Structure 1
């Protein structure tokens, strides 16, 4: 059995997190913002599994299950909010969502 160093998955998790952070800061479309947050959550989950592998306990895999559940809940709520925003403003631009603050109900 080939033993994999923990440096490779940790580096991959760091790169995924940076890609997600750049996507979060650079994009204005709320769909891409949600996708970037999902990439960042997957990077955190990969790091939990890597830490569990490094220290030889299964708690990293248990935390990954929690991260996946959190990502699913975030995706469901985010898509509901995006559908409501699309019906109200007919756009998914993040800057257009700021106009909702000025609208009186």
Structure 2
């Protein structure tokens, strides 16, 4: 059972990496980053259940990662909203914030 869940996590992480590299939309890039963080959380829980059965270190650490991911999503969407308000686009290639 461990191998199947591990390969699922690797597959989700690789989809996230591919989407992050090829994405031109900032919202899609944030979603791919969240997918990568969720696959890492899945690995934390798998390895916690296998190697440290009685203690919940991996589960607790994954809860911290979820909280950090929620804060990252809120701040990221606020930044995307601000950029869209100023530039009228969320395409990564269309704007450079250093040139005003």
**TM-score interval, normalised by the smaller of the two chains:** over 0.9
Structure 2 counterpart of 1:100: 97
Asked which structure has the greater CA Rg, the reply is 1
Say which SS state the counterpart of residue 97 (structure 2) adopts: helix
Structure 1 counterpart of 2:2: 6
- Paired with 1:44 and 1:87, the residues of 2 have a C-alpha distance of 33
Corresponding pairs, count: 98
Q: List runs of 5+ in structure 1 lacking aligned partners.
A: none
Q: List runs of 5+ in structure 2 lacking aligned partners.
A: none
The runs of at least 4 aligned residues of structure 1 exceeding 3 Å deviation read none
Aligned-residue CA RMSD in angstroms?
A: 0.9
Deviations 1:57-89 (CA, angstroms, capped at 9, x unpaired): 311100110110011011000000001000110
TM-score between both structures, scaled by the size of structure 2 = 0.93
Q: How does 1:14-93 map to 2 (within 5 A)?
A: 14-55=10-51, 56=53, 57-93=55-91
- Paired with 2:65 and 2:5, the residues of 1 have a C-alpha distance of 17
